[in-house]
Chains A and B, each alone.
Chain A
Amino acid sequence: MDPRKEFIKQLRRYQKGSISRRHFLGVTGLGTAMAVMAAEIPGLRPRKAWAAGSIGDKVSLATWPNYHDPKDFDAFTAQTGAAVEVSVFGSNEEFLAKLQAGGTGWDVFVPTNYTVSTHASLGLIEPLDLKKIPNYDIAAQDAKLIKEGTVDGTVFGAAKDWGTTGFAVNTAKVKENPTTWKQFWDLTQSTYSGRVTVHDYQLTTIGNALKYYGYSFNSNDEKELADAEKLLMAAKPHLFAITSDYQPAFRNGDAWLGICWTGDGKQLHRDIPEINYVLGKEGGEVWTDFYAVPKSAPNREGGYALINFLLDPKINATEVQFHGQPSTDSRTDKLLPEALLKDPIMYPAAELLAPLEFGSAATFTNPARAEILARFKAA
């Protein structure tokens, strides 16, 4: 089989979730390669020019793994004539690093709440022209979830969805029914040594190590961070992997316990019911992802058209059912099946949500935290 066909085959497998994502596409540079290949996928090739030439023939989207239903991109292409080039990344640092270095060619990307103000203050993203996104009805959004999309009264991000950071447990293997971060880290260093994954992402991995001691997820206190580093270093020999791409390890049965985002938890549980998603009782993270337009966007109009398309409640509802992260948009919720709206993974109980914190910009940009994670990985 020629490499190109093989690649597309692998790409389709990745889209179905049967093989891994982050390393496959992001860090290896294949994110870019994928963008090139996207032009080769017949489904993404322009079929019908709608308002020909108005938004060009391609829109470039930088996003997270397993985060969109490919069929919705096909529908966008059918409607507008513009193909969607997708590149996939696994951390907010990567988005920022690439935008700072310049020349990304992205028209749209998906930063998380606590990074919007940093992108805005560095002049990397533009204030959104809301007239071009009529489908983003701010009145219909959950106000407390979307507030960080607005910086000093200017809207820079249109909310995509929200979620939490907890841990996945394979209940067929892990019998202790852990419900706290304390148990998570203790079990990691004892019974389930070699079966645990943590994110390759300072914010969540350090944040949830801080929760072991009952500190704030956002702590930037030197002593508290030193405690967290000590815990991470002690846990490291017991980890199966340090990766934000943990679904394959769980699906393969290699990992039984691991830091996990809502959507991954939902997708794993959907396919393997004994894998559960748990929020630590001490708290942890709640987050919102936003669509934003880089100032350097080569095809702004296309970017806006794509955001508007994906935020159409009908399309958004199919997206939510695909990726398993709850929507911020009440109009979208009305179109979702009743069972999904009662799903305890997507909509955790109020007492579990209450102690969760939004990540802060200072947590995200703290160089000391970046260095702790780097030392932890390099140890």
Chain B
Amino acid sequence: MREPRKWDWTAILLISPSVAIFLGLLVMPILVVLVLSFGERAEAGGYQAAFTFAQYANLPARWAAFRNTLTLAPLGTIICLIAAYPLAYYLAVKVSARNRLLLLVLVIVPFWTSFLIRTYAWIFILGGKGIPALLDAIGLADVRLINTPFAVLVGIVYGYLPLMVFPIYVSLERLDKRLLEASDDLGASPRRTFLQVTLPLSAPGAVTGCMLVFILLMGEYLIPALLGGGKVFFIGNALVDLFLQSRNWPFGSAVALSLVIIMLVTVTVYLRMTLKNRGLRDQALV
């Protein structure tokens, strides 16, 4: 028996790389951002030491960016979920084992080329010579798609769908098929079986998928920049502007920190709401 209080050097040694990475790449940068956010913009841009809450007081100036992010990110997540669930269900339950691998590979294939280039392709699909030209040919003149919130939403769903499909697929695939038989034996309709057995048991996958998509979307920069034409502005775009154009590091830091706080609060509330009373909290998130 080992003394409980004694230093376990092996454990410390094993855990130290993670701690170093955690401190160096997460805690330190956040502290730097925190300090910067109380400073002032230097004359020619950058940071000048100070202690002021002016940057936080100025946050409403970026209200539109917060609003866009906080509406389009959840909306995109929900559409991804609605689109991904049937696909994941089909892949996990309906399709034959032989075709399954092929179909799964097809979901992954887009990742083989740069996300940027795929998003770029949408500029041409949604631009004047793309879908609007086709619609024009069938009599729907002057439809504008590119550089609208709709275009950004299309880009979001296109880009993030696979991230939603896989966690749901995994949870459905692990689902114990005997439970479905039992439900059937006990006289439940297929619909009821789906609602009372399949859906609750695949919830952890859906929750994980939503978290993945939502968290990444909150920091999204590329899709609004390319498909929103600089008109549909996310916090990510506001941040790039603040650091790379107006060189206002303190205000940029305040915006960044606010984003982190909003994200933490949203995710915590969301997890509590979705996992509470469902006995899911103990289950590993895929």
Contact = CB atoms under 8 A, between A and B. Distances in A.
B128 A93 contact: no
A374 B252 CA distance: 12
A165 to B, nearest CB: 17
A232 B225 CA distance: 19
B46 interface: yes
A151 interface: no
B47 to A, nearest CB: 10
What band does the interface of chain A fall in when counting residues whose beta carbon is under 8 Å from B? 35 or more
Interface in A17-34: 19-20, 23-24, 27-28, 30
Interface string B69-102: 0000000000000000000000000000000000
Nearest to B116: A28
A228 B56 CA distance: 26
B247 A370 contact: yes
B244 A100 contact: no
B229 A3 contact: no
Contacts of B44: 96, 100, 118, 122, 365
B230 A243 contact: yes
Contact of B45 (A97, A243, A249): A97
A298 B116 CA distance: 30
Interface string B154-169: 0000000000000000
B172 interface: no
Chain B contact residues (Cβ within 8 angstroms of A): what range?
A: 35 or more
A247 interface: no
A174 to B, nearest CB: 15
Given A94-B245, A253-B129, A254-B128, A7 B45 contact: no
Nearest to A94: B244
Contact of A10 (B117, B147, B231): B117
Interface string A160-171: 000000000000
Interface in B146-183: 146-147
A146 to B, nearest CB: 24
Interface stretch (B7-15, B210-218, B233-241, B272-280): B233-241
Interface stretch (B16-24, B30-38, B59-67, B184-192): B59-67
B117 A6 contact: yes
A364 to B, nearest CB: 10
Interface string A358-379: 0000000101001101110111
Interface string B202-226: 0000000000000000000010011
Contact of B114 (A3, A253, A375): A3
Majority-rule SS of A interface residues: helix
Interface string A100-127: 1000000000000000001000100000
A57 B244 CA distance: 30
A240 B247 contact: no
A252 B120 CA distance: 14
A5 B122 CA distance: 20
B2 to A, nearest CB: 48
Contact of B231 (A236, A367, A370): A236
A301 to B, nearest CB: 29
A194 B127 contact: no
A209 interface: no
Given A6-B113, A374-B245, A379-B64, A243 B229 contact: yes
A202 interface: yes
Interface of B: 41, 43-46, 61-62, 64-65, 112-114, 116-117, 120, 123-124, 127-129, 144, 146-147, 222, 225-226, 229-231, 233, 237-238, 240-248
Given A374-B238, A378-B65, 7 more contacts: A23-B225, A27-B240, A100-B46, A200-B230, A365-B44, A367-B41, A378-B62
